[in-house]
Structure 1
């Protein structure tokens, strides 16, 4: 009886909380550590780029972040990457953002406030008063996977660019590369 209890206890799963920025158990797949590394690298790069420093010392330009294209074969939540990058840049106090994902909801609310007759026009948000973005940030995440019988090698490359919308000029661009390798043990595990 005691032996069977010890056996069951030895098979129990252990669950523990970890810090969100702690390095996760390494796997070959894209994970939270990769996301954090990308976000930190990109934000540090854009905020320290001399022409961007000059512009943001004078004023707080308006930017929008487009969806990151996932060109990998994995299901990767690229919205989490853009959310983390946007939040870090916004918290720096250097840029302001417009949220293009909420345009339909904003338009619906503006119509309600200005056309329904239910909102006091002295307090209604006025149509045509929103500020347009000056910059657009966009990019992609790609990967190259190579496999042999014993080794799987995955190379990720995250590229991010910032374009001045009026001129079409790319003002900044950077890349973060991550390589992961998994070797099978001699027992195939």
Structure 2
């Protein structure tokens, strides 16, 4: 009995010692890595979508012709998330917009900052703090010529230990003056996971 108590005491002390010595290691990963770790939408999927959409848009012949001499003004609508996941669609939009701006082909209107812009212009016009000669006037902003819209959908199929997830991202470019859909494309991503019989 005494031996058993001593053994349990030693095991308890050893467990406490090991727990106290446990450390968490953090390291940088490759932001461009395409290796999936699950079927959920991830950063590599976001990068694939952004690159595919931008490459498709700027190389589409009619669009390439329009952007060869000037930089049209675009506005981007929020991505409509039709999946069952909580996805930060603003990050998808931001990535696509950033890549398009870097291409040097387009200029953008950011409607997400309109409220702050209105307050700033009001301050310049009404506060008396800003020289009227340099104060920005209302109604002087440039209107967007085109509108980028996007839908993000998924289809999930499960059979036993296998989960098959199909993603489809569709983006459209609409001419606001004519109403014509100037460009449309989609990016498909499929992820399949198989749960091992051992280890859950």
TM-score by length of 1: 0.92
SS in 2 for 1:58: coil
Q: What is the Cα deviation at residue 6 of structure 1?
A: 10
Q: Is the 1:24–1:32 Cα contact (8 Å) retained in structure 2?
A: no
Cα distance in 1 for partners of 2:43, 2:125 equals: 43
Extract unaligned runs of 5+ from structure 2: 1-9
Match in the other structure for 1:43: 54
Q: Find the aligned partners of 2:140 and 2:110 in 1 and give their Cα distance.
A: 15
Corresponding residue of 2:133 = 122
Quick one: structure 1 residues 100 and 152, their matched pair in 2 at CA, closer, same or farther if it must change by over 3 Å?
Answer: same
Q: How big is each residue's C-alpha offset from its partner over 1:109-164, in whole Å with a ceiling of 9 and x where there is no partner? A: 11111122221101101221110000010111100111122111111000000100
Please say if 1:76 is aligned against 2:87: yes
Given the two structures, how large is their TM-score scaled by the length of structure 2? 0.87
Q: Match of 1:63? A: 74
Is residue 52 from structure 1 mapped to residue 63 from structure 2 by the alignment?
yes
Q: Which runs of 5+ in 1 are unaligned?
A: none
> C-alpha distance in 2, partners of 1:120/1:79?
37
| Matches of 1:58 and 1:52, distance apart in 2 | 11
Summarize the Cα distance change of 1:9–1:181 in structure 2 as closer, same or farther, 3 Å threshold: farther
Q: How many residues align?
A: 188
CA-atom RMSD in angstroms: 2.0
CA distance in 2, matches of 1:67, 1:130: 21
Q: Distance in 1 between matches of 2:30 and 2:195?
A: 29
Q: In 1, distance between residues paired with 2:15 and 2:140?
A: 72
Whether contact under 8 Å (2:74, 2:145) holds in the other structure is yes
Structure 1 window deviating more from structure 2 (172-181 vs 140-149): it is: 140-149
Q: CA deviation at 1:19?
A: 2.5
CA distance in 2, matches of 1:49, 1:40: 14
For residues 146 and 41 of structure 2, what CA distance do their matches in structure 1 show?
A: 28
Determine helix, strand or coil for the equivalent of 1:87.
Answer: helix
Q: Which has the larger radius of gyration?
A: 2
Pairwise CA distance, 1:25: 4.3
Q: Distance in 2 between matches of 1:164 and 1:99?
A: 17
1:6/1:175 CA distance change after superposition, 3 Å: farther
